[in-house]
Amino acid sequence: MAETPFELDEDGMIVTRPLLGFTIVTVAGMSILTRLDYAEKPADIETGGKSVQLILTPQQALEVADALTRHARNILGTPRPTGQGH
């Protein structure tokens, strides 16, 4: 997947929005519907914030899961389980 620049604010800082929760379901046995709940401002933490809903193919879901797992393992210093590629 090509690198896409992150969204920046007026000061040139990367815009971040804390994840408050998520819901993931399978749709018609063909795709994965994912709802990500996030805070856009501190008050959103108390009110549940906003959400974005994404539909993913099974392959996209596996790629996202793998990328998140690799980054989390790197941060935590946890080695990848043996017997897995990459």
Does residue 83 carry a pLDDT above 70?
A: no
Please check whether residue 82 lies inside any domain of the structure.
Answer: no
Please check whether residue 85 lies inside any domain of the structure.
Answer: no
User: What is the dihedral sign for C-alpha 69, 67, 7, 44?
Assistant: negative
Q: How far lies 32's CA from each of 6, 25, 53, 64, in Å?
A: 24, 6, 10, 12
Q: How far lies 49's CA from each of 17, 24, 34, in Å?
A: 10, 17, 16
Please check whether residue 10 lies inside any domain of the structure.
Answer: no
Please check whether residue 83 lies inside any domain of the structure.
Answer: no
Please check whether residue 63 lies inside any domain of the structure.
Answer: yes
Number of domains, the chain: 1
More confident residue, 4 or 72: 72
Please check whether residue 6 lies inside any domain of the structure.
Answer: no
pLDDT at 5: 85
Please check whether residue 65 lies inside any domain of the structure.
Answer: yes
Residues whose CB falls within 8 Å of the CB of residue 18, separated by 6 or more in sequence, listed in order: 38, 39, 45
